[in-house]
Structure 1
Amino acid sequence: MYHLYKYAVLFVFSVVLGFAFNMFLLPHEVLSGGVTGLAMILGLVSPINAGIWLVIFNVPVFMIGWMRLGKEFIVNSIFSVFITSMSMQYIPVLKVTDDALLSAVFGGVIVGVSIGFIVRFYGSTGGADIIGLVVTQRRDIPLGVLIFGINSIVVFVSGFFFSWELALYTMASIYITGVVVDRVHTRHVKLSLMVVTHKGEELKNELIANLIRGITVMNGYGAYSNHENKVLYTVITRYELALVKSLIKNVDPKAFVSISETAEVIGNFRRS
């Protein structure tokens, strides 16, 4: 059931991505970034559809993703790129508005939301997404920031092919996309979790069984209750928070839980 739901989400947002390209960005020659942006440039200056170029450029990038991110990720990404490519061929290239700035802003938002949900369900749109995800495995850098940095080269390319005014619109669109991606895709956000419970051993075993995280266990003493408790401390990602809260509630509904955002993690922390 989950796999069906996952592919339904990937399908919907891949189509929405194709819609954003053809209805907002391409009509004003406001490009997306990275591999997708280069495909859009060639789609505009050659008789070959941008969706075909998108597939061609993504082959070597997918090979890197296969080695570093795994088979499931690449299968999901291929599915997403294929649906986006098909939707770009069947959705007409039409102007929703004659204002290029409005198209850049709304196109950037829609692209950002689409990419954010595609990545959230362990897929990608290829290109800079895959490169960014490979880098985030080793560095706590927001994915949207990486995508913006990698894609900025398209601004200069589009400036030479079209106009520098459109290049600035492209920069605005790419920046908005990066910001929105980081609002949807929050795996880079780390949370410090502290739990005070009288079922320390049971909760520790449950967390270890469901998370790939180290847990520090300390002895605690309630100043008011005069009862001895266990204090569990660990760092998790925001994606893991819902699961952790559910596990704690099932084991000890009366546990005291403190959750705070962590600025940086140094040491052995599994980021993938």
Structure 2
Amino acid sequence: MYHVYRYVVLFAASVLLGFAFNMFLLPHEVLSGGVTGMAMILGLLSPINSGIWLVILNIPVFIIGLMRLGKAFIWHSIFSVFVTSIAMQYIPVLKVAEDPLLSAVFGGVITGVGIGLIVRFNGSTGGADIIGLVVTQKRDIPLGVLIFGINSTVVFISGFVFSWNLALLTMASIYITGIVIDRIHTRHIKLSLMVVTTKGEELKNELIANLIRGITVMNGYGAYTNNQNKILYTVITRYELALVKYLIKNIDPKAFVSISETSEVFGNFRKS
């Protein structure tokens, strides 16, 4: 059921991305960044649709992602890019707003929502997303900041190809996109999780089966009831929090759960 839900979200977010491109960014020649931005430039300069260029340019990036991020991630990414490409074929390129600045702002927000949801559900739009996710495996850097840095190269290209006014609008758009992505994709934020439960073994096995995390198990008892409990402690990312809540409620709805933000983690901790 969760997998069906994931693909529904990926589909909706990918269509939303195509809508943002064709209705807000492309009509004013305000570009996205990275590979997507290059696809939009080539689409504007050639008779081939930007959606087709998006697929072509993402092939080498997907190969890198396959080696570093796994098959499931790549399949989700291919699905997302395919849906976005098809959506861009059928959604008309129309100006929703005449003001380029308004289009850049709202296009950046909608693009950020789309990319943030896609990445949150273990996919990507290719290009800078994949490169950024590979880097975040090693460094706790917000994904939106990385994507903004990588995508800034497109600003200079668009400045020479079109105009510097459009280049600055592009910079504003991808900056807003990066901020929105970091509000949705929160893998870089670490959380300390403590669970007091009477179903310690069952819950431990379920968490280990669904998370690649070490878990410390301690014995405890209630000061008031004197009932024996198990105390499970681990550190997760905010990205994993929704799944963890779902698993705990399924195994032991009466478990006591404490979640707090952790400022720093070092040692044997898997970052992705």
TM-superposed CA distance for 1:225, in Å, is: 6.1
TM-superposed CA distance for 1:41, in Å, is: 1.2
Structure 1 residues 92 and 246 mapped into 2: Cα distance closer, same or farther (>3 Å)? Answer: closer
Which residue does 2:18 correspond to in 1? Answer: 18
Structure 1 residues 68 and 104 mapped into 2: Cα distance closer, same or farther (>3 Å)? Answer: same
Distance 1:11 1:203 in 2: 32
Distance 2:85 2:246 in 1: 39
Amino acid at match of 1:104: A
Which residue does 1:270 correspond to in 2? Answer: 270
Structure 1 residues 220 and 137 mapped into 2: Cα distance closer, same or farther (>3 Å)? Answer: same
Distance 2:234 2:161 in 1: 51
Task: State the TM-score, normalizing by the size of structure 1.
Answer: 0.89
Structure 2 stretches lacking a partner, 5+ long: none
Structure 1 residues 14 and 242 mapped into 2: Cα distance closer, same or farther (>3 Å)? Answer: closer
TM-superposed CA distance for 1:156, in Å, is: 1.0
How does 1:70-85 map onto structure 2 within 5 Å?
70-85=70-85
Worse-superposed segment, 237-246 or 11-20: 237-246
Structure 1 stretches lacking a partner, 5+ long: none
How does 1:119-268 map onto structure 2 within 5 Å?
119-197=119-197, 200-201=200-201, 203-218=203-218, 230-249=230-249, 252-268=252-268
How does 1:30-45 map onto structure 2 within 5 Å?
30-45=30-45
Which residue does 1:66 correspond to in 2? Answer: 66
Distance 1:247 1:20 in 2: 35
Residues 48-81 of structure 1 show CA distances to partners (whole Å, capped at 9, x for unaligned) of 2222221221111111111111222222212221
How does 1:42-57 map onto structure 2 within 5 Å?
42-57=42-57
Which residue does 1:104 correspond to in 2? Answer: 104
Structure 1 residues 245 and 121 mapped into 2: Cα distance closer, same or farther (>3 Å)? Answer: closer
How many residues get paired?
A: 272
Structure 1 residues 198 and 93 mapped into 2: Cα distance closer, same or farther (>3 Å)? Answer: closer
Amino acid at match of 2:32: S
Worse-superposed segment, 31-40 or 217-226: 217-226
Structure 1 residues 125 and 247 mapped into 2: Cα distance closer, same or farther (>3 Å)? Answer: closer
Distance 1:261 1:160 in 2: 44
